[in-house]
Amino acid sequence: MLLAVLVLAVTGCKNGERALAEKQAAFDQWNDAFGENFQNRAAALEADQDALLAFRDSAITAFTDYNRAALEENLDNVIGVSALQNLYGFLEDDEVAAYVEKITADVHGQDSLFLASLRESIAAKKQTAEGQMFADFEVDGVKFSDFVGKGKYVLVDFWASWCGPCRGEMPNLRAVYDEFHGPQFDMLSVAVWDKPEDTAKAAEEEKIAWNQIVNAQKIPTDLYGIEGIPHIILFGPDGTILKRNLRGDDIREAVAEALGR
């Protein structure tokens, strides 16, 4: 009787593993086919920007809908982790945190590292959320607190020379600096994930006239839970984090509001 029970248990385990493997294969096949189709279709529509934008919007909706459904249905296995990896760039921070809490999958290797990295990032973002005091760090003897928390509003741009969107925000940043720089307001650029020589060259090209910290690499991005750049933060005179992830016209609007202009 005991032998029969053991045989059934082993058989059930193998059947479960086989079913999960088949499900994983179907999941991977859908995402691989989506990626190939997306690249081909986007290339074909390159000359028609309106059609390309419409296709991208519909494709992103299909991609996120499929992976969100897969995530919801597989919180207890590795498929859910894979779906979250596909999705998390499209989700708000609170959604990512909620899914990380729900996942019960026993994963190893890269999947385990991914979840651990997400948990660390979530914790860092909570500790440096709007309303929290700034987190200090030091790079080559230069402290962040040498610039922040000294009685001025400070706009801090985390950037890199190779980052197109970072370079794209430079005209906005220069305009804000030219308009507001003075006794109440200053700016700071913090170069991350970059070679110091490339930072120096780009800073000269972009005519950065404000303070800089170079060669910061991952130190501030890990501390502030920054996953993508540019990441622009406005700090209050005492170092309180007032606004995070500012872009475009929102940069000037946030600074003007803070200064009462």
CA distance 68 to 88: 10
Residue 34 contacts by C-beta under 8 Å, 6 or more apart in sequence?
59, 62, 63, 66
CA distance 83 to 73: 10
The answer to whether residues 115 and 87 touch, using CB atoms and an 8 Å cutoff, is: no
Helix (H) or strand (E) holding 155: strand 153-159
Model pLDDT, residue 88 = 85
Domain boundaries, the chain: 2-127, 138-259
Model pLDDT, residue 17 = 83
Residues of the chain scoring pLDDT < 70: 1-15
Read off the amino acid at residue 17.
E
CA distance 3 to 27: 36
Model pLDDT, residue 11 = 55
Model pLDDT, residue 114 = 87
CA distance 98 to 26: 26
Model pLDDT, residue 151 = 97
Q: What is the pLDDT of residues 64-102, one digit of tens each?
A: 999 999 999 999 999 999 999 999 889 888 898 899 889
Question: What is the second-level CATH architecture of the domain 138-259?
Answer: 3-Layer(aba) Sandwich (3.40)
CA distance 243 to 232: 8
pTM of the model: 0.77
